[in-house]
Homo-oligomer: A and B are copies of this chain.
Amino acid sequence: MTQDALIERLSAIVGSDKVRTDADSLQTFGKDWTKVYEPKPSAIVFPKTTEQVRDIVLLANECGLQLVPSGGRTGLSAGAVAANGEVVVAFDYMNQIAEFNAVDRTVKCGAGVITEQLQTYAEEQGLFYPVDFASAGSSQIGGNIGTNAGGIKVIRWGMTRDWVAGLTVVTGKGDILQLNKDLLKNNTGYDLRQLFIGGEGTLGFVTEATMRLTRPPKNLTVLVLAIPELDDVMKVLNQFQSSMDLTAFEFFSDKAMSKVLARGDVPAPFESNADFYALIEFEAITDADMDLSMSLFEQCVENGWVVDGVISQSETQAANLWRLREDISETIAQWTPYKNDISVVVSKVPPFLREIDEVVTREYPDFEIIWFGHIGDGNLHLNILKPDALPKEEFFPRCNKVSKWVMEIVQKYDGSISAEHGVGMTKKAYLPYTRSEAEIAYMKAVKAVFDPNNVMNPGKLVDM
């Protein structure tokens, strides 16, 4: 198909003002936050309805086009990068929030609704959308669903998967499916909705979703604890979790915190230092909750697990304590960190982390390792900082070697090579470290059912 014919056919579907081929748009909409692949889409198309998406998919099947979905483009695995002349389907105009239902506590969103837009909308209704993460200001609901986005509150509220009441999707065959009809209980065979959640747009594109909301948390209170021994972090987790419903249990290393503190705009939580810190958040609804948390804290001190701690007395203090954890990513960005997003079951975190730390330190003693993550979920963000003196060209190939070692350790510990960032293109080669050969074969067969001509986000997740 010539470029002119392509533009004509796409324009016939969405209108000529909703097809872009200028260099800027191709560059912007052809990529996500990864910088590994050069974007090279052939066109960007902006549908406004599910039916237009269907017509684009039918055209793709007819003419052998390949389609890449584009949401907030905040992905970290190149799941939404168009590097091979694909047509990018951008959901920016499908950003309506509609049909709020106060009794069901659900809200219907176009795929292009921005996470923060939904969070704010929920707040305005006196409710709460609990999935939250650093890119909430730009990421879109469709992308969140495609990658089953997680974030900082998973321990209490789960992943995006847990908040999807119903989905409208266009499959790779061009069928429009209404999945689950927003029901809480619906045991009528295979829950196909679950395949599209986390499916990275490879089976079809989500065009609309009904999301659940919940009651807002009350008086979220933050404890930051200094914990010298990694094993004791897990004991502290267990101690707190067995008597309280935590809303977050995050951790970060002293190296991570010292980078944040060095910026000078976040106060140190206390004078003590320890190799690790835990950030615990909970609802202090009554004084009893506060008392319980203090008594748990004291027990942790008595047991020798914790050497210092601080508890927030106000929302501002809570926000400042959160910055110790949340500012890490942005703070270390200047060192061009090599990132891995891995997970194991919670109980295996200490030996798993130690083994990776040892291997990297042994092989590359000049590399600085920054650990942080959602330790209550077993999800660790491993960040390796580029030594200032080392050129990028040497740093990244050495990191690729590190990745191989890391993935082998992930496999040894029955872990996940991608806890929350998805597979896309950058993790594809590592998929067999988490999923068996047989599983991958079934995944390909499932893909062929929904997208027999491989038009939906080809080259992501699995190769057909």
Contacts and interface: CB of A to CB of B under 8 A. Distances in A.
Interface of A: 101-106, 126, 147-148, 150, 154, 159, 161-162, 171, 175-179, 181-192, 194-195, 197-200, 203, 215, 234, 237-238, 241-243, 245, 285-286, 288, 343-347, 374, 377-379, 414-423, 427, 431, 434-436, 438-439, 442-443, 445-447, 449-450, 461-462
Nearest to A175: B438
Nearest to A245: B215
A126 B242 CA distance: 9
A16 B447 CA distance: 42
Given A171-B442, A190-B199, A415 B461 contact: no
A194 B189 CA distance: 11
B198 A191 contact: yes
A431 B189 CA distance: 9
Among A176, A423, A427, A434, the one with the most B-chain Cβ atoms within 10 Å of its Cβ is: A434
B346 A189 contact: no
A238 to B, nearest CB: 6
Contact of A185 (B234, B378, B462): B378
Nearest to A193: B194
Given A192-B443, A199-B190, A439-B177, A185 B449 contact: no
B345 A104 contact: yes
A346 B241 CA distance: 32
8 contacts: A106-B345, A175-B438, A183-B415, A184-B345, A185-B377, A185-B378, A188-B418, A189-B435
Most buried by B among A102, A414, A438, A442: A442
Given A181-B434, A192-B443, A215-B245, 9 more contacts: A171-B442, A175-B438, A181-B345, A184-B379, A185-B378, A191-B198, A195-B195, A442-B450, A449-B449
Nearest to A433: B188
A102 B238 contact: yes
Contacts of A443: 189-190, 192
A347 B101 contact: yes
B104 A436 contact: no
A435 B186 CA distance: 10
Contact of A344 (B183, B238, B435): B183
Given A177-B438, A191-B197, A103 B185 contact: no
Contacts of A347: 101, 103-104
A250 to B, nearest CB: 13
Given A436-B177, A450-B442, A215 B186 contact: no
Given A148-B187, A285-B288, A234 B414 contact: no
Contacts of A415: 181, 183
B183 A343 contact: yes
A379 B188 CA distance: 14
A343 B188 CA distance: 11
B186 A104 contact: no
A148 B461 CA distance: 28
Given A347-B104, A419-B186, A449-B449, A442 B238 contact: no
Contacts of A445: 449
Nearest to A439: B177
A118 to B, nearest CB: 19
A143 B179 CA distance: 24
A237 B199 CA distance: 35
B197 A461 contact: no
Nearest to A176: B438
A420 B187 contact: yes
A21 B179 CA distance: 43
A216 to B, nearest CB: 10
A92 B442 CA distance: 29
A105 B374 CA distance: 17
Given A346-B103, A449-B449, A154 B423 contact: no
